[in-house]
Chains A and B, each alone.
Chain A
């Protein structure tokens, strides 16, 4: 749907944005801007230097990871700063202060601190205890005991501090009566520390101080990777939110115009919509008729004329005359009620999916506990003293601690999402990859997904270049999609200055014999319009027609062929008329297609597929696809999609290409295989270690070595996903 669909109202120089300024102390002000599109060193340099050139600005610093630009200085003019950044070619919006304090950031920092403490303690404790295991014979009992006490003095507080994330999660899952990996992890850590203190105090030979900190360290790596992944997804969501903090011009009863966030609108407010603006809420045209681009609402590409008093839905874009909208609903009530309900239902479907790691935990955790109880019972029956029976049971818990399991999934997912990111697919959550790997059928939307989503002049070579150029001079003065398409076809050139826009009809300039008109058939006096949508006429000459069509994306056909080669079923659903749908489906090589499908029918279709146990990938971009995207097993939206569709989708394509979809499926399938391999590796390690532990033959040295070894193995296995995929 191009730039029009994505952009809301753009705050201009005249708008007052001072409410976004914050006091940063020392008489300075601070203005946070969300910048979209910055990816490289060049962008940083360009934006920061550009912003510093704005009067009043002392410093500007862009965070490339989050896209947040912090500008500080005195007497800042937010609108000037925004305009500067936009003039440099980046989309920019004021960053909402309400979202500043972000729990995710703080949690990430806390995890890193834990990781640092655990890492330090691991190295230090190992240095002490390894000396005992290797050269233990030379050390006297007293020296050994001192070494243990020293190791414990570092390991116990370090473990208690840095394993907090696991303790908290374990407590949460105990209270919710759920089996999670965190319960056996926490128990193993506490038990091994307790047993080590007991052993040291009684002069025993085996302590697990080093094993417990190392365990914490390795598990924290997995936890941190997982957090980074989720935080990046959250960051993208936040980014989207900030970019769509829609600002509107509201006319107060006294006639003054204020710039306010759309969510502050109340029913009955008057909102000014200029050409190119999107209606933020449902409303009624108050002052006159105009033309609307309804592509986000219905999927229809061509603008439609509407009269004064017409009811307008949120998401419609004004392409004709500026109008005044009397709002009839608040932002949250402005989505079609059905759509909102369907979106919610879809989210519930999504929540029912159980991640692979959780499924593994459900089977694993009870098994481990039963095993250690059995081992203890076995030793007691065999006549062993209670102390050694308990020791064996604890050893089982320590040795089976799902360390490698904790790394198995996040390691693979981090590598997979990183690879997909470079290919232009943004994955919003780790389990989306798991779901993508299971897909059996792919359902495409047509307009804006398989096609470019904007009209292109067809049979342009049959029109005399001279006429095309003259028509383009008129067309360049308008933002109407057809006029833009005409100007695009004519190539660069100058726009006529004296163009008058006539609502519902078209453009004109000049008078008498020099009167030039560009617009609909009636207005230009064309008798037999047929399927031709735009006409040009000069004076009394015969009108010339321009016809437009929506072009298919160049790689759509290759993608469909690739998906079918992967054994997937391909289907196309569109709200468009059968004639056009048939043409596009034919060009893309899709045999299974349905035309004239309404938005709620799309969602219902996806629901029916889910009921018949067909796991479906939905690819769509319009507001009318949002419910279907949410309802599908997994969904992908192009980067040009409507905000709400990007929010509903699991993955977002960054460029205009479709081929990354095939790549995403390939990577998802590989990732799933690697995760399962990793589970098998971790399990194999545990299966060999358990009998040794049950027999009381596992020394702390073996425990530590196998633990680190299996984690390393699992990580290396995950890295295999990095290579390959040369294309």
Chain B
């Protein structure tokens, strides 16, 4: 029974952690421009010489 209790508690913690990450990403505007972010990976970094 203790095993189950531990498992459930850790599942809850991990889940809440993931939820927290998502909410944080939302509040910092990381979902504001999905289209732009998808395109940005195609931009070459400026060449430093």
Contact = CB atoms under 8 A, between A and B. Distances in A.
B11 to A, nearest CB: 7
Interface string B12-48: 1001101100110011000111111001111110100
Contacts of A123: 15
B1 interface: yes
A65 B40 CA distance: 12
B15 A64 contact: no
Interface in A167-186: none
A143 interface: yes
A66 B43 CA distance: 19
A112 interface: yes
A272 interface: no
Contacts of B23: 113, 116
A128 B15 CA distance: 13
Interface in A85-127: 105, 109, 112-113, 116-117, 120, 123-124, 127
Contacts of A49: 46
Contacts of A112: 26, 31
Contact of B43 (A44, A116, A117, A124): A44
A463 interface: no
Contacts of B26: 109, 112-113, 116
A116 B8 contact: no
Nearest to A158: B19
Interface in A11-43: 40-41
B29 to A, nearest CB: 9
Interface residues of A, number: 24
B15 A124 contact: yes
A65 B22 contact: no
A63 B32 contact: yes
Interface in A115-158: 116-117, 120, 123-124, 127-128, 143, 150, 154
Interface in A380-407: none
A41 B19 contact: no
A44 B36 CA distance: 8
B32 A116 contact: no
A41 B43 contact: yes
Nearest to B16: A120
A120 B15 contact: yes
A336 interface: no
A124 B33 contact: no
A64 B11 contact: no
A503 B15 CA distance: 75
Nearest to A45: B43
Contact of A143 (B1, B18, B31, B34): B1
B14 to A, nearest CB: 10
A619 interface: no
A62 interface: yes
Interface of B: 1, 8, 11-12, 15-16, 18-19, 22-23, 26-27, 31-36, 39-44, 46
Given A44-B40, A64-B35, A112-B31, 9 more contacts: A41-B40, A44-B43, A45-B43, A63-B36, A65-B32, A105-B32, A109-B26, A124-B15, A154-B12
Interface of A: 40-41, 44-45, 49, 62-66, 105, 109, 112-113, 116-117, 120, 123-124, 127-128, 143, 150, 154
28 contacts: A40-B39, A41-B41, A41-B43, A44-B36, A44-B40, A44-B43, A63-B32, A63-B33, A64-B33, A64-B35, A64-B36, A65-B32, A65-B33, A65-B34, A65-B36, A113-B26, A116-B22, A116-B23, A117-B19, A120-B15, A120-B18, A120-B19, A123-B15, A124-B12, A124-B15, A143-B1, A150-B8, A154-B12
Closest CB pairs A-B (n = 6): A64-B36, A41-B42, A41-B39, A63-B33, A45-B43, A120-B19
